[in-house]
């Protein structure tokens, strides 16, 4: 039996997870909808983190951001995950990958800093991340991470990097080096300021497409004899048109700075699980598993399970029409975005301060 949380592509996730040895996640964490709804669905060594939470021991969480493009709802999910963990640790690290942006995307450092500040950090804080619990830093400014990357560079070679990332001999050396800086970002909490090892389990919550990078990081951790980072894997909500959500295709994503007019237009064009005609819809019922609006509810807009299940059932029965759902999604979205905008104004000074040291 399909649960309301299972989208059709769940099967593909399952295959990918089996192929790479990612274990299915089976935890009883009721307080967070992304766990309850199995949107976070796989893991490596997550037990180590659960144990730390249970026994009130220290652990760290690392989740990087690429300072390019605009922040959308897909990015918000990562913030929701970090908000869950900040209830249990103040060792949350958010590296801004400005070195990678420079090497791989030709974005200069000032531009990256500006994007990081105005698109990401201000939204991270506005969404509720606690500046006292998260350590947001620019890779290019973090001497410890850079030094760690320079040391860890000894533990891998071009063949390995090429196999994982598909680099060629023409790839610039900075670009080849970028994943090592990311490895250093992740392993950074396991070292003190003198780069001596300290005992600190690290969790990296990522999309399943990031697993090759997690495997490299775990391999390098083993080579330098420290605890390999734990990881959880989440599904992504699809783009509004049913394909991939992408910053570079505005019609696929709700940006956190979209105006009500833009949101209205995007929602009106979004893919649903509705039937061809209203008559058919009433007769056969809708297919919420295929509906992006339903995903918006599940990932972001409806945190009450009973309310979500009711919508699911009313859609399946044909009672609830796509127009009504879109209206509800639109109304909740613009309310959410309006409040977020107000909060951004409140936190902007703090965001500027974070990047000033």
Report which of 312, 100, 146, 86 is spatially closest to residue 108, judged by C-alpha positions. Answer: 100
Q: Please, which residue, 158 or 284, has the CB nearer to a copy of itself?
A: 158
Whole-angstrom distance, CA of residue 106 vs CA of residue 240: 29
Which position has the token pair 């040391």? 151
Output 85 or 102, the one with its CB closest to a copy of itself: 102
Q: Which stretch binds a copy of itself (CB under 8 A): 60-68, 151-159, 228-236, 271-279?
A: 151-159
Would you give the binding string for a copy of itself spanning residues 323-342, x where CB under 8 A is met? --------------------
Name, in order, each residue with C-beta under 8 angstroms of 252's C-beta and a sequence gap of 6 or more.
Answer: 239, 240, 241, 243, 244, 245, 246
In the range 80-109, which residues lie near a copy of itself by CB under 8 A? 99, 102-103
Binding of a copy of itself at residue 165 (CB under 8 A)? no
Q: Please report the sign of the dihedral spanned by the C-alpha atoms of residue 266, residue 295, residue 118, residue 208.
A: negative
Q: Which of 261, 201, 224, 265 is nearest to 57 (CA)?
A: 201
- Choose the binding region for a copy of itself from 7-15, 86-94, 153-161, 248-256 (rule: CB under 8 A): 153-161
Torsion of CA 152, 158, 164, 170, to 10 degrees: 130
Identify residues 170-199 at the interface with a copy of itself (CB under 8 A).
170-177, 180
Stretch that binds a copy of itself, among 50-58, 143-151, 229-237, 275-283 (CB under 8 A): 143-151
> With binding defined as CB under 8 A, does residue 223 bind a copy of itself?
no
Q: In whole angstroms, how close is the CB of 61 to a copy of itself at the nearest point?
A: 26
Q: How far, in Å, are 111, 134, 150, 206 from residue 104 at the CA level?
A: 14, 26, 18, 20
Question: Residues interacting with a copy of itself, by CB under 8 A?
Answer: 99, 102-103, 140, 143, 146-147, 150-151, 153-159, 161-162, 167-177, 180
């Amino acid at each position: 039996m399909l649960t309301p949380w299972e989208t059709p592509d769940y099967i593909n996730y399952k295959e990918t997870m089996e192929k790479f040895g990612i274990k299915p996640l089976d935890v009883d964490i009721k307080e967070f909808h992304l766990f309850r709804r199995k949107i976070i669905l796989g893991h490596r060594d997550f037990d180590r983190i659960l144990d730390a939470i249970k026994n009130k021991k220290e652990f760290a969480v690392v989740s990087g951001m690429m300072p390019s493009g605009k922040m959308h709802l897909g990015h918000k999910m990562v913030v929701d995950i970090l908000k869950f963990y900040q209830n249990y640790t103040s060792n949350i690290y958010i590296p801004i990958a400005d070195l990678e942006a420079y090497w791989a995307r030709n974005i200069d450092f000032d531009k990256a800093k500006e994007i990081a500040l105005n698109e990401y950090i201000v939204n991270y804080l506005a969404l509720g991340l606690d500046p006292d619990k998260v350590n947001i830093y620019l890779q290019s400014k973090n001497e410890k991470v850079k030094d760690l990357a320079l040391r860890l560079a000894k533990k891998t070679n071009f063949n390995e990097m090429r196999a994982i990332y598909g680099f060629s001999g023409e790839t610039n050396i900075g670009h080849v080096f970028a994943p090592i800086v990311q490895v250093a970002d992740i392993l950074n909490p396991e070292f003190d300021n003198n780069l001596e090892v300290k005992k600190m389990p690290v969790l990296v919550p990522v999309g399943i497409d990031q697993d090759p990078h997690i495997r490299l990081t775990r391999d390098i951790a083993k080579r330098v004899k420290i605890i390999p980072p734990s990881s959880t894997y989440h599904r992504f909500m699809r783009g509004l048109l049913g394909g991939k959500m992408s910053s570079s295709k505005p019609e696929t994503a709700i940006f956190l700075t979209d105006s009500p007019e833009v949101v209205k237009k995007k929602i009106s064009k979004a893919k649903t699980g509705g039937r061809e005609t209203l008559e058919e819809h009433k007769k056969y019922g809708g297919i919420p598993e295929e509906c992006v609006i339903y995903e918006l509810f599940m990932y972001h807009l409806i945190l009450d399970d009973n309310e979500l299940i009711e919508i699911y059932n009313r859609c399946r029965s044909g009672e609830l029409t796509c127009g009504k759902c879109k209206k509800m999604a639109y109304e909740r979205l613009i309310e959410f975005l309006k409040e977020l905008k107000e909060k951004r104004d409140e936190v902007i000074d703090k965001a500027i301060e974070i990047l000033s040291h």
